[in-house]
Amino acid sequence: MIPGFRVLKRERRVSADLIEQFRVLPVANVSDSMHRMTAAGPRLTMMHRDGQMAGPALTVKTRPGDNLMLHKAIDMAEAGDVIVVDAGGDLTNSLMGELMLAYAVRRGVAGFVIYGAIRDADAFLKVNLPVFAAGVTHRGPYKDGPGEINVPIALEGMVIHPGDLVIGDRDGVLGVPMDAAQAVLAKTLSKQDAEVRQMAAIENGTNDRSWVDESLKRLGCSMP
């Protein structure tokens, strides 16, 4: 098959058990547990009202402003999938609107990450399916291709492979590599426990702040 215009099968995807465990975790804490080195960028913002997103990636790479392959991806989606679209971040034409959203809900899609634009923004708020996109425009898409489904894609440097875990909340979107998900989960849960203890110390006035002055001295800051 020639790269650029092809539909591939997804060979595997992150387990349902891991998805549910990540669903309740703040994206920021998962990101910290991945050394703060992975992000899809602040352009990807919530287009729904509220709620967290978690699911295996069904990836789409498309020419900016063209949604033919996105239509095909929705047809292919398994219940619980997050469809992740690399459209180059272009906002000239929208990639999906109210009708495609309704069809995706019917198909059981768990969410979308659109590195491009949507339209019918009020419908996304009303339906409240988790959707993250780079912007909104009333200008509609074309349906000519080319594009690819189930290939590795990159959103502002964040690489996502088909089947990887994709999570999102009001802080943004994060991809967790499938083969690292169990280790990232363990580290995130440990961080969660530490934050619970720190919050309790803040509330009862026993929070240790000595590290601030120690860091300043170590870095050579002049202080009285």
Residues of each annotated binding site: 97-100, 119-120
Residues within the annotated binding site for Mg(2+)? 120
Residues within the annotated binding site for substrate? 97-100, 119
Which DSSP state fits 219?
T
Closest CA to 114 of 13, 163, 46, 31: 46
Contact indicator for 174, 40 with CB cutoff of 8 Å: yes
170-180 CB burial, b ≥16 within 10 A, e <16: eebbbbbbbee
Q: Write down how long the chain is.
A: 224
Write out the E strands in 26-124. 45-46, 53-62, 82-86, 94-96, 111-118
The Cα 30–Cα 192 span in angstroms is 9
Cβ burial of 182 (10 Å; 0-12, 13-18, 19+) is middle
The Cα 32–Cα 188 span in angstroms is 8
Closest CA to 59 of 43, 77, 83: 83
Contact indicator for 22, 181 with CB cutoff of 8 Å: yes
Which tokens go with 220?
């050579």
